[in-house]
Amino acid sequence: MVEATKPGEKAGRFPVRAGTLAVLGALGALAVYPFFGTTYMIGVLTEIMILAIFALSLGFLMGYPKLISLGHAAFFGGGAYAAGIVAVRLEAANLFLTLVCALVFATLLAVLIGVLSLRNTGIYFLMITLALAQLVYVVAEQWTWLTGGTDGLVGIPYPELFGFFSFDRFSFYYLVLLLAGGAYFLLRLVTRSPFGHVLLGIGSNERRMRAIGYGTRVYKLAAFVLSGAVAGVAGALWAHYNGIVAPVDVNWPLSATALIMVIVGGAGTLVGPMLGAAVVWFLDTGLSSYTERSTMIMGAVFILFVFFARGGIAGIARSLWERFYARTGT
C-alpha cells in the first residue's frame, strides 16, 4: 500500500503544489476579469471554463486509474440533454433542478456504461466506451419528440433560482467559475485521499493492487462514475450557455476532442487538462475566425507537441520548473 502510493507522490509532489497555486492564481484573475473584459470575451471564457470542467473529468480518469475513454461525450451530452429537456420540455429552468437532473442522469449512465465496459482494458476499453456512447448518440438523434432529433433542442434559457434570481451572462460566468473551481478542488481532494492513492496504484500496476487484495473493479467503477458525473455537470452548463443541445454534443468527435485536450494539457495532472481545454479551444474555434487553414495549423501544433512537449503543457511546466530548481536549488 505504502509502496503503491510512492511513485505518484514522487512524480506529483511539486507539480501538485505548484499546480494548485497556479489554479488559485488563475481563479483570482478570472474572478476580476469581467470588470475589464468585453461581453464577448466573458462568453469565450465561460465556454472555455465549461470545456475545462469536461476535460478535467476525463483527465482525472486518464491520469489516475489510467482509463482512456473514448465515450466521454455520452456523459457531457447526456447531462446537457437532461438539463435541456427539463428546461424546455418541462419549462423548469431552476438551476438546482437542471443541475441535479443532469448529475443524476450522467451518474446513472456512467454506472451503466462503467459496469459494462470495465472488464475490458487498454484499447478494448477505449473502443467499448466508444460503442456504448454511440448508442446514446443514436438515441439522442432518433428520439425526435424528446430531443429535437437532428435539429437539436432549441430555446434553453439561462437558469434561475426559485423565481427570485435569474442568471444573466455576467452572473452565469461566476456560476461556471465557481463550479470549475469546485470541480477542481473536489477531484484534487479525491486524488490525495487514500482512495486516490489506490486509483494511482491501479493505474501503474493493476495486477499488483489486485494481488494486495483490492477489488480494483469497484475502485475503477467509482472513479468512472465520479468522472461521468462531473462531465454531466459540465454538460448542463453547456446547455444553458449555448441555449441549444444538438446530437453533436454526444457524438464521438467531442469525445476525441476531450481526449486531445487531456493529452495536450498533460495526462497525469489535473491542471493540465484544463489548460489543454483552453489551448484546444483557441486552436479550434478561436483560430478559425482568422484563417481558413486553422485545421491544418491545429494538426501541426499537435505534432509539434508530440515531438517537443512530452507530457503536454504540464510536462513543459514541469521541465521548466526542474531546470530552475536545478539551477537555484543546488
Site string for other proteins, 134-153 (x = CB under 8 A): xx--x--xx-x----xxxx-
145-171: b or e for each residue (b if 16 or more CB lie within 10 Å)? eebbeeebbeebebbbeeeeeebeeee
Residue from 246, 255, 258, 273 that binds other proteins (CB under 8 A)?
A: 246
Return the ∠ at Cα 251 (arms to 285 and 309), rounded to 5°.
Answer: 50
Binding of other proteins by 282 (CB under 8 A): yes
Binding of other proteins by 45 (CB under 8 A): yes
Give the interface segment with other proteins, choosing from 4-12, 174-182, 202-210, 241-249 (CB under 8 A). 241-249
Q: Are 169 and 39 in contact (CB under 8 A)?
A: yes
Residue with smaller CB distance to other proteins, 21 or 161 = 21
Residue 61 grid cell: 480518469
Residue with smaller CB distance to other proteins, 86 or 260 = 260
DSSP H or E run through 45: helix 39-63
Binding of other proteins by 44 (CB under 8 A): yes
Binding of other proteins by 249 (CB under 8 A): yes
Binding of other proteins by 7 (CB under 8 A): no
What is the phi-psi region of residue 160: left when phi exceeds 0, alpha when psi lies from -120 to 50, beta otherwise? beta
Residue 63 grid cell: 491520469
Give CA–CA dist 98/130, Å, rounded: 26
Binding of other proteins by 124 (CB under 8 A): yes
Residue from 6, 13, 25, 89 that binds other proteins (CB under 8 A)?
A: 25
Residue from 231, 267, 269, 270 that binds other proteins (CB under 8 A)?
A: 267
99-118: contacts with other proteins (CB under 8 A):
116-117
52-71: contacts with other proteins (CB under 8 A):
68
Q: How far is CA 173 from CA 5, 39, 56, 77, 284, in A?
A: 37, 11, 18, 20, 22
Residue from 35, 162, 307, 308 that binds other proteins (CB under 8 A)?
A: 307
Task: Give the number of residues written for the chain.
Answer: 330
Q: Which residues pair with 94 in a beta bridge?
A: 160
Residue from 172, 225, 252, 269 that binds other proteins (CB under 8 A)?
A: 252
Give the interface segment with other proteins, choosing from 25-33, 160-168, 184-192, 213-221 (CB under 8 A). 25-33
